[in-house]
Amino acid sequence: MQLSKASAIYAAPIPLRLILALTFLWAGLGKVIDTTTVRGEHAALLANMGYKFPAPPQDQTTPDQSSSQPETEPETQPETQADPSQDQDPAKAGIAPLAPLVSIAQSQDQTPDEPAEQPNAEAQSPVTPRFTAADFTYETKVKSLNNLAILTYTAAHPDPRQDGSIPPPIWPEWAARDSWPIITAWAVAIIEIAAGLFVLIGLLTRLSAIALGTLMATAAWLTQIGYAIQSGNTFLGFLPNHGLWDTSAWQPFLWQLALMCAAFSLALAGPGAIALDRIPGSSHHDDDDDDFDDDE
């Protein structure tokens, strides 16, 4: 009886610490070191969150910019004889949305002052720094953790279903505003790296294990349970509606569930042997040693 209790206290947590440390150190470092490619809508989401993209290559300019220049040149050349025609064409070419923002005094002097609308547009552009998919027709690389930022934003702002109904959000709306998704993604990566390292050396083991278990519970909610609820296609009301024997479809959810249970089990069992938390006199010294000695 004493041998089984000793193995449960000292030996059993060690494999849990090793597998959790290996998994989360790999996952956290991968989010920071590895890169992924984004373009279009996803790139626009990151830009609106405050992510600063590098300048696009000159050979990969957006089609709107490359097509607008040759279109304006042939239009202005044959129409240089008539001034009123020049005043109407730029409004049709895309400057019309800026017309209500021009002052009344400038709108009265249309013929001499219309070519000066370009500096006004440049002065007004910082007021509404919103980006669309048309601004990112080229591919660019970002850190892999930005996938998590996009995931949390779409979880708070789900797309309408095919029948037109709007699914419920599965993430707080305030946590998807401004740069909060990117901050959350960085926080997750840092927690995975730090908690994985602490679990490996056995320091703050219980607290680190609780943090890792909470991360896996949140991941299962965002990617499996909550996603199934948003889609409206669930099994037992909350599980993804995969085939019963479709092992490849169930594998991500079962992997998340196994890691979550392993982390919470480590939080309950303690660090085990060969851990800094076991050093006598340490501020994080585990009392299981003393309880085991008293039972003897």
Q: Considering only 44-53, 126-135, 159-168, which range has the smallest mean pLDDT?
A: 126-135
- 122 shares a domain with 166: no
Q: Which residue has the higher pLDDT, 89 or 149?
A: 149
- Rounded to whole angstroms, the Cα distance separating 164 from 174 reads 24
Question: Mean pLDDT over all residues of the chain?
Answer: 78
- 163 shares a domain with 281: yes
Q: Is the pLDDT of residue 184 over 70?
A: yes
Quick: pLDDT tens for 19-70.
Answer: 999 999 999 999 999 999 999 999 999 999 999 988 776 655 544 444 444 4
Q: Considering only 6-20, 51-65, 105-119, 172-186, which range has the smallest mean pLDDT?
A: 105-119
In whole angstroms, how far apart are CA 250 and each of 110, 254, 255? 66, 6, 9
Query: How many domains in the chain?
Result: 2
Per the structure, the complete domain to which residue 243 belongs is given by 2-34+144-295
- 257 shares a domain with 150: yes
Q: Indicate the pairing of strand 234-235 with strand 239-240.
A: antiparallel
Quick: pLDDT tens for 81-105.
Answer: 444 444 444 444 443 343 343 333 3
AA identity, residue 80? T
Q: Is the pLDDT of residue 287 over 60?
A: no
Spatial CB neighbours of 292, under 8 Å, sequence gap ≥ 6: 5, 6, 9
Last residue of a domain, one of 116, 143, 170: 143
- 148 shares a domain with 8: yes
| Dihedrals phi, psi of 3, to nearest 5 degrees | -65, -40
How distant is the alpha carbon of residue 160 from its chain centre? 20
Last residue of a domain, one of 117, 143, 169: 143
What percentage of the chain carries pLDDT values higher than 70?
Answer: 69
Q: What is the pTM of this model?
A: 0.72
- 215 shares a domain with 165: yes
- 195 shares a domain with 261: yes
pLDDT given for residue 55 in this prediction = 78
Q: Which residue has the higher pLDDT, 198 or 102?
A: 198
- 153 shares a domain with 16: yes
- 212 shares a domain with 264: yes
Q: Is the pLDDT of residue 135 over 50?
A: yes
- 139 shares a domain with 264: no
- 232 shares a domain with 286: yes
Spatial CB neighbours of 169, under 8 Å, sequence gap ≥ 6: 155, 156, 157, 158
In whole angstroms, how far apart are CA 145 and each of 32, 54, 132, 136, 204? 6, 17, 21, 19, 25
Tell me if residue 273 falls in helix, strand or coil: coil
- 126 shares a domain with 261: no
Check residue 164 and report its DSSP letter. S
Last residue of a domain, one of 143, 168, 187: 143
DSSP bridge pairs for 36: 142
- 268 shares a domain with 180: yes
